[in-house]
Structure 1
Amino acid sequence: MDKTKLLDKLGADKEDRLLLAKVLDRAEQARIRNIPSSTDFLSPQQRVMAQELLRMAGTPENAYVALGGYEGAERTILLFLPDWLEAEDAESQSPLRFLRASFRREYHLTHRDFLGSLMGMGIVREKVGDILVGEDEADLIVLDSVASFLLESWISAGRAKLTVSEIPGEYLHIPQVRCEEMRDTVSSLRLDAVASTGFRLARGKAAALIESGKVQVNWRECTKPDHLLAEGDTVSARGFGKFELTEVGGTTKKGRISIVVKRFI
């Protein structure tokens, strides 16, 4: 099946078609030239679409790895492996580099400050992975193609002056994920029922949010309130954050199902 037909079958919209076409190009480059080839950074949603597209194209799962610089990274690249490169050695061919931007803590810089500064310098989002912000420094994972430019030219974010240096990947300061655990009982594992708990909404409002197209299950849009969730599923919604259904327990005497939800703060 050619590239256009694959993209049509996937149902990719205009915004994602170019990105996904590049994913196929990188996979083909690694296969034909037998060299490592990688995508730009992908969001979780884009990664799910890319992996589905590769499956449809007949690319085996062991032909590539997802790399984000650290375990649990949200934004990752896909690195396609030539015959001579094993998955466990993929990081040796990774185009990822690690930068630390230090600043005076009284400026209280946020993720938005750093991202805005980078965009203002003409750095597109696809060249930058996760931005890990601390009290007086931010660690960034970036592609090799923009690292040298940032080391030489990035001097400020918000109102703060920056001191930018390169660090080894193992020195990344990874902020602790903040979350809260909620226990509840639901009438069923329908998406609207569990989302009512996870997003702290009335069930009717949760259903309306789902039908509006703003909710994703495991990074795929889901507009069906009656979609059944399973233990381990992640649900996210624009403007409401995300949660994980971490545990599905037994049924109470009244026929309700006990659940545990981990809501990310």
Structure 2
Amino acid sequence: MDENIYQHFRKAEAPFIDQVAGWLQDVSDQYRPYLTDFLDPRQQYIVEALVGEKGEQHYRFEGGYLAAERKRALLYPAYFEPTQDDFAIQLFEIHYPTKFSKLSHGKILGTLVNAGIKRDMFGDIMTDGERWQFFVTASMADYIQAQITKIGRVGVRLEAKDYTDLLVPKDAWALEHTTTSSLRVDSLISSVYNISRQRSKELVENGKIKLNWQVFERPDFELGLRDIISIRGYGRIQLREIEGKTKKDKYRLLLGVLRK
């Protein structure tokens, strides 16, 4: 791996960069595809950048549906033609007593993690307001179906589904253009949700913010492309594109925004 690659990313991302380099080396040495677990959007961006730099391998992402956030990456040599089956993704629907119980994204996520399932083993968790579905790696499907019988105190049954049975998710990203004085987390939250910089800083410092699904408490942290921040009580923001700067030296940004 060219040492100059690292300067384009955060220091904390170096281990993942090395991991991607190893995957690409495997594809090159063995001349066969390599399938990753589920990657978050920032990790997908890093894969795109590294494959683009190397140029000898190809990549494709699949998360079960077009607007998926978390996706598996298939890295493959030029001769290979990927199909959807190559991504080995299983869709599950959660059956539960809808008249008497409510589920939430947090409860489902917590149940899966507490069952000993690594976060990169499952993809998006989706709802249409009543029904709930999620994606997992096919290799974990039997284990998950046997292990998950309750979510919180609610008895549930997981049913394997085909892609054709995918529900239409209620939440949808809206594309928004904005300008901001910096790429700091507190600045962006303030701009998008029209709250004071002090309030957005407090949200971060009080643990109300997740960056790429991990809690962090640095309001001065600068976002990079494809980063997603989740703000409890407000929604989510993804940095899609940095479109340049205004005459007043502010950043012009294209964002994906979910508002609660």
For the criterion TM > 0.5, the same-fold answer is yes
- Structure 1 CA distance, aligned partners of 2:11 and 2:199? 28
Distance of aligned partners of 1:25 and 1:174 in 2 relative to their CA distance in 1, 3 Å threshold: farther
Distance of aligned partners of 1:9 and 1:216 in 2 relative to their CA distance in 1, 3 Å threshold: closer
State the TM-score, normalized to the length of structure 1: 0.69
Q: How many residues align?
A: 232
- Choose which of 55, 58, 73 in structure 2 pairs with 1:59: 55
2:168 corresponds in structure 1 to: 174
Q: What is the CA-CA distance between 1:178 and the residue it aligns to?
A: 4.8
**1:5-58 C-alpha deviation (Å, 9 max, x unpaired):** 4674454445x44443332222222232232211111111222223223334x1
CA contact (8 A) 2:224 2:239 kept: no
Aligned-residue CA RMSD in angstroms?
A: 3.9
**1:130-171 C-alpha deviation (Å, 9 max, x unpaired):** 011344432111112211111222211111111111111121
- Choose which of 126, 140, 143 in structure 2 pairs with 1:146: 140
Q: What is the CA-CA distance between 1:90 and the residue it aligns to?
A: 3.0
Distance of aligned partners of 1:33 and 1:75 in 2 relative to their CA distance in 1, 3 Å threshold: same
Worse-matched range after superposition: 191-200 or 96-105: 191-200
2:124 corresponds in structure 1 to: 130
1:26 corresponds in structure 2 to: 23
**Residues 209-228 of structure 1 aligned to structure 2 (within 5 Å):** 212-214=219-221, 216-220=223-227
Fraction of identical pairs, as percent: 18
Distance of aligned partners of 1:64 and 1:218 in 2 relative to their CA distance in 1, 3 Å threshold: same
| Gaps in structure 2 of 5+ consecutive residues | 205-217, 244-252
- Structure 1 CA distance, aligned partners of 2:175 and 2:78? 44
CA contact (8 A) 1:99 1:164 kept: yes
CA contact (8 A) 2:59 2:76 kept: yes
CA contact (8 A) 2:226 2:239 kept: no
- Structure 2 CA distance, aligned partners of 1:176 and 1:91? 24
| Gaps in structure 1 of 5+ consecutive residues | 221-234, 249-258
Q: What is the CA-CA distance between 1:92 and the residue it aligns to?
A: 2.9
**1:200-239 C-alpha deviation (Å, 9 max, x unpaired):** 1347877998x9334535325xxxxxxxxxxxxxx85655
Query: Which residue identity is paired with 1:216?
Result: L
